[in-house]
């Protein structure tokens, strides 16, 4: 049976999952694909630590050149994460005629364009199913299953850590800090959770989803990113009373000829399927013009889940290699109906706003007067408590407005003496 040799860089959590699956499912995979996927070499800085799989000593190396310079190795699997030296390893491997599988969303978000174009120049493929939604086959679905479709929007919950925190605040009626603490203790949040809770990890994945759906490679600086660390339990509860859940969404959305690409906490109607996605699960909602509205749901992280996606990429590559197929840009082309990336000032959205105001006659009139001056119209107002001497929360739902108008109105309102602090502003999505 023909053997396809694989070199693996990064023998960590996912890496050892890949080795485990390729071993334990060796005959299953061979029977399915008619050839053998053989891990020839595994490279890691630490080759002495015990993993949950054992490798013969001569399969392990600390020098990536043992993989890159081995002409018998057909595929490099990059699982070290981070931009450097992962990027250099991949470029070197492509130069040596290898195909590549990676789960590295941070790298692809930053240097994907360069890497994909290098691969295309060399007639090689880079597959990256594990980089978004772990084992959920969302990338294959967008590229292949929905190949004939144009997309109105692709949006979803793509960061398990922040979804765990928001769900657990809602479920356990606890603060952000308490929820984060529990997430850490369960291994769902890193010691430094900034990438996850400030939305950057979601932004990386969103850049890939936007590329897949609209054929545009958006720079990280062009993605509007807002995290969840400012979300108070009070807002989750007020939203719930009004029939909404708060989720951190990554959104790529066409509006006319513009594309909005953004990550932010979002009020979603509680009967929206995404509102029922709790804990560390991910779900991506795809609004397509032929296949309609689709949802792809599953665990967004986990050793075997991510490794399952890496192995599916390996299987696809074996078929490409066997057939001499070259499809680095297969099914990713630019959506030419999109003329420009919308600037944040021009974003349009409905809004949830919580003001902390003095409970005095005329306060609401003053606030709504300013909003009206900027052409912003109020859908509903609810005052949550009564207290003559303290600042009290007033929650407004605002009809669709332009971000710029909203910001300008708020900067006027913030200067009022009846306003205690910067209001909490959370965008809303319908679909």
Under 8 Å CB-to-CB from 145, ≥6 apart: which residues? Answer: none
Of 47 and 294, the one with the shorter C-beta distance to a copy of itself is 294
| Count of residues that bind a copy of itself according to CB under 8 A | 59
Site string for a copy of itself, 136-155 (x = CB under 8 A): xx--xx--xxxxxxx-----
Q: Does 134 bind a copy of itself (CB under 8 A)?
A: yes
For residue 60, the minimal CB distance to a copy of itself (Å) is: 23
For residue 32, the minimal CB distance to a copy of itself (Å) is: 5
Q: Which two tokens stand for residue 138?
A: 């969302």
Query: Among 4, 24, 11, 26, which Cα is nearest to 78's?
Result: 11
For residue 340, the minimal CB distance to a copy of itself (Å) is: 20
For residue 255, the minimal CB distance to a copy of itself (Å) is: 21
* Interface segment toward a copy of itself; rule CB under 8 A; list 38-46, 111-119, 251-259, 327-335: 327-335
Other beta carbons within 10 angstroms of residue 302's beta carbon come to 17
**Of 124, 205, 253, 262, which residue is the catalytic one?**
205
Of 296 and 391, the one with the shorter C-beta distance to a copy of itself is 296
* Interface segment toward a copy of itself; rule CB under 8 A; list 97-105, 299-307, 356-364, 408-416: 299-307
Of 143 and 342, the one with the shorter C-beta distance to a copy of itself is 143
Site for a copy of itself in 386-405 (CB under 8 A): none
Q: Does 177 bind a copy of itself (CB under 8 A)?
A: no
Site for a copy of itself in 25-44 (CB under 8 A): 25, 28-29, 31-33
For residue 265, the minimal CB distance to a copy of itself (Å) is: 22
Site string for a copy of itself, 256-295 (x = CB under 8 A): ---------------x-x--xx-----x----xxxxxxxx
3-state secondary structure the chain: CCEEEEEEECCCHHHHHHHHHHHHCHHHHHHHHCCEEEEEEEECCCCCCCCCCCCCHHHEECCCHHHHCCCCEEEEEECCCCCCCHHHHHHHHHHCCCEEEECCHHHHHHHHHHHHHHHHHCCCCEECHHHCCCCCCHHHHHHHHCCCCCEEEEEEECCHHHHHHHHHHHHHCCCHHHHHHHHHHCCCCCCCCHHHHCCHHHHHHHHHHHHHHHCCCCCHHHCEECCCCCCCHHHHHHHHHCCEEEEEEEEEEEECCEEEEEEEEEEEECCCHHHHCCCCEEEEEEEECCCCEEEEEEECCCHHHHHHHHHHHHHHHHHHHHHCCCCCCCCCCCCCCCCEECCHHHCEEEEEEEEEEECCCCHHHHHHHHHHHCCCCEEEEEECCCCCCCEEEEEEEEEEEEHHHHHHHHHHHHCCCCECCCCEEEEECCC
205 tagged catalytic: yes
Of 324 and 361, the one with the shorter C-beta distance to a copy of itself is 324
Query: Among 349, 408, 416, 424, which Cα is nearest to 373's?
Result: 408
Of 29 and 203, the one with the shorter C-beta distance to a copy of itself is 29
Of 88 and 293, the one with the shorter C-beta distance to a copy of itself is 293
Q: Does 1 bind a copy of itself (CB under 8 A)?
A: no
Of 41 and 143, the one with the shorter C-beta distance to a copy of itself is 143
* Interface segment toward a copy of itself; rule CB under 8 A; list 189-197, 306-314, 339-347, 357-365: 306-314
Yes or no: say if 234 and 314 are a contact pair by the CB < 8 Å rule: no
Site for a copy of itself in 228-247 (CB under 8 A): none
Q: Does 308 bind a copy of itself (CB under 8 A)?
A: yes
Instruction: Tell me the catalytic residues.
Output: 205
Please report, as ranges, the residues that interact with a copy of itself according to CB under 8 A: 21, 25, 28-29, 31-33, 129, 134-137, 140-141, 144-150, 271, 273, 276-277, 283, 288-299, 302, 304-305, 307-309, 311-312, 315-316, 319-320, 322-325, 327, 330-333
């Amino acid at each position: 049976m023909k053997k396809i040799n694989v070199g693996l860089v990064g023998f960590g959590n996912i890496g050892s999952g890949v080795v485990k699956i390729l071993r334990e499912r060796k005959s299953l995979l061979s029977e399915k694909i008619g050839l053998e996927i053989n891990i020839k070499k595994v490279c890691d800085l630490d080759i002495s630590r015990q993993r949950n799989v054992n490798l013969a000593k001569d399969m392990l190396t600390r020098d990536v050149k043992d993989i890159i310079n081995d002409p018998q190795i057909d595929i490099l699997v990059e699982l070290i994460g981070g931009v450097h030296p992962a990027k250099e390893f991949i470029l070197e491997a492509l130069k040596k005629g290898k195909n590549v599988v990676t789960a590295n969303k941070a790298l692809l978000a930053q240097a994907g364009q360069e890497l994909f174009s290098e691969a295309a120049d060399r007639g090689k493929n880079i597959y990256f199913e594990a980089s978004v939604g772990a084992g959920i086959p969302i990338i294959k679905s967008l590229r292949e299953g929905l190949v004939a479709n144009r997309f109105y929007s692709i949006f979803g919950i793509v960061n398990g850590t922040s979804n765990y925190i928001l769900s657990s605040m809602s479920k356990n009626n606890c603060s952000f800090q308490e929820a984060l603490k529990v997430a850490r203790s369960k291994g769902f949040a890193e010691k430094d959770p900034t990438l996850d809770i400030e939305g950057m990890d979601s932004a990386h994945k969103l850049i890939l989803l936007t590329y897949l759906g609209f054929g545009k490679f958006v720079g990280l600086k062009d993605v509007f990113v807002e995290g969840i660390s400012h979300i108070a339990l009070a807002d989750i509860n007020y939203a719930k009373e009004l029939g909404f859940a708060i989720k951190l969404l990554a959104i790529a959305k066409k509006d006319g000829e513009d594309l909005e690409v953004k990550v932010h906490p979002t009020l979603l109607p509680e009967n929206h399927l995404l509102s029922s996605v709790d804990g560390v699960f991910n779900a991506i909602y795809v609004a397509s013009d032929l296949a309609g509205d689709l949802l792809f749901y599953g665990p967004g992280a986990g050793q075997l889940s991510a490794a399952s996606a890496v192995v599916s990429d390996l299987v696809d590559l074996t078929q490409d290699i066997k057939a001499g197929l070259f499809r680095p840009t297969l099914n990713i082309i630019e959506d030419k109906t999109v003329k420009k990336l919308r600037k944040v000032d021009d974003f349009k959205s409905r809004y949830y706003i919580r003001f902390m105001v003095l409970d005095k006659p005329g306060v609401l009139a003053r606030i709504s007067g300013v909003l009206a001056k900027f052409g912003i119209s109020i859908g509903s107002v609810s005052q949550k408590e009564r207290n003559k001497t303290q600042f009290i929360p007033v929650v407004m739902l605002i009809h669709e407005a332009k971000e710029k108008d909203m910001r300008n109105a708020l900067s006027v309102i913030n200067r009022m003496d009846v306003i205690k602090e910067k209001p909490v502003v959370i965008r809303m999505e319908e679909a």
